[in-house]
Structure 1
């Protein structure tokens, strides 16, 4: 009977060897780029942000400069040409504002509110969550009871109450959204930090005399970032949608600084008369923005999930 010899282990291929030498960031970027929907969302969001930033230079008119408006051009359908020779590709609203220009300017306010409120809420909530996990005891109980109380109320109801007290304004909307969003970050940061707090590298850092702030932001925070990044991405889209809802209800931004939500609200009363474009096109812009951000967030959730790590 012929003896069988064990086969020698196969030499690693060039692609597998390259994969072994990739950093975690490189693997995450490669995994993110592997999703066509995520890349489509990223491209769409980049285009939207670029259009919003460039609005003062590329918009056909400044829709909030009264000197450029003509009430005689009010409620013109898409594709109409005014007496001045200007073509309104998306039509005009009741004040004669070019809807394309109004959408480009409205994107600036919606994106500003979404990103600033999400970043501020993330900073506050993450810090409090890390402090709660690190300190424990009464500090932890006090912070988490406030978090539980905050999360027990409907988000839109709390935001409406705050704005009813503070009044309209971009700054007030951002403040209201920060107040209703920070608790989600605090709970997530605390849960992630509690896991890391019991690990040996944290105990070693404490034994070497590292300060509490250094342990919090040098050791705990980097290991808590993946879930927080996913939440932050989703919260940006949520903040934009919430701002649009608040503006639609008349408690958001003022008419002098309209966002997409206020543009939708302005055209709602004309829907039944057939002038759909006043609300329809801002609604499409809002939908594309929110969907693009959510596509990015969904892919980040899969990429940064430790269970899916190589």
Structure 2
């Protein structure tokens, strides 16, 4: 007897798949993006569970000993603890500092991106919908904001606000909202002239509903891409500001502060104090950029 072939459902052609499934398939086609996503998930998990997996709380003075300062990687403390990545000048475990520093750096990046996107998106949508003098005035303000480099704007704000993680977040929000406003306004202008918007206006649909039910969904793709890229940029800016002494305070660990702690010892051979936090910062930023770069291609309307 001949075997009866098994009847299976034919594969769904790519053009007939739902938008989300097609985008996921496009994203997974990039090995770099998948690698970046995996690394990013690992970084997030390490940051979230840092209090549980780190050998010590590096900013709890009761757990530090000056006798353990500047120990090379693999050294043991007087109480038998192994410092796999060495210690800094205060006797802090570098590995624990990196885990706690990831928490602070990711917090700065995510909070600043979310707040800046909300503010910039609202302003961009309102300007595009209203048009006329309101749009012109708003865009001149945006142009003025974008004429200053982000790092310069952040430095000016921190000179007024002072040091601290939350002050860094506020400074980055003020420095970054205009990017969202310009992008969203350009996308919303295209949608504003389409027939469904004119039909909604003729039916006297409330303006807020047109803004957030019709215009906003069509602006989400560029917002997601910009926000992803801004998280990486904000982490790098926070590290730069902390390195310059204007970012996180000594009691608020961040990767930039850890790098700054070891800068003065680089020429003395104590490379590990700054080297390992620098590697962690580089890996985090590269992973986010890999994901964001692929999202830009996947969410591009031309590829839909």
TM superposition score normalised by structure 2: 0.96
Q: Is the 8 A contact 2:108 2:238 kept in 1?
A: yes
**Structure 1 runs of 4+ with >6 Å offset:** none
Q: How far 1:18 moved relative to its partner?
A: 4.1
User: Secondary structure of 1:129's match?
Assistant: helix
Pairs aligned (count): 296
1:52 corresponds, among 37, 47, 50, to 47
The residue aligned with 1:265 is: 260
The residue aligned with 1:180 is: 175
Alignment deviations for residues 71-107 of structure 1 (CA, whole Å, 9 cap, x no partner)? 0000000000112110000000000000000000000
For 1:258 and 1:51, the matched residues in 2 are separated by 15
For 2:227 and 2:61, the matched residues in 1 are separated by 38
Corresponding position: 1:101 with 2:96 = yes
Corresponding position: 1:41 with 2:57 = no
User: Secondary structure of 1:90's match?
Assistant: coil
Corresponding position: 1:165 with 2:160 = yes
TM superposition score normalised by structure 1: 0.94
Q: Is the 8 A contact 2:59 2:253 kept in 1?
A: no
- In structure 2, list runs of 5 or more residues that go unmatched: 1-8
- In structure 1, list runs of 5 or more residues that go unmatched: 1-12
User: Secondary structure of 1:186's match?
Assistant: helix
For 1:66 and 1:262, the matched residues in 2 are separated by 17
For 1:19 and 1:209, the matched residues in 2 are separated by 39
For 2:78 and 2:299, the matched residues in 1 are separated by 55
The residue aligned with 1:190 is: 185
Corresponding position: 1:241 with 2:239 = no
Alignment deviations for residues 184-208 of structure 1 (CA, whole Å, 9 cap, x no partner)? 0000000000000000111111222
User: Secondary structure of 1:271's match?
Assistant: helix
1:206 corresponds, among 195, 201, 204, to 201
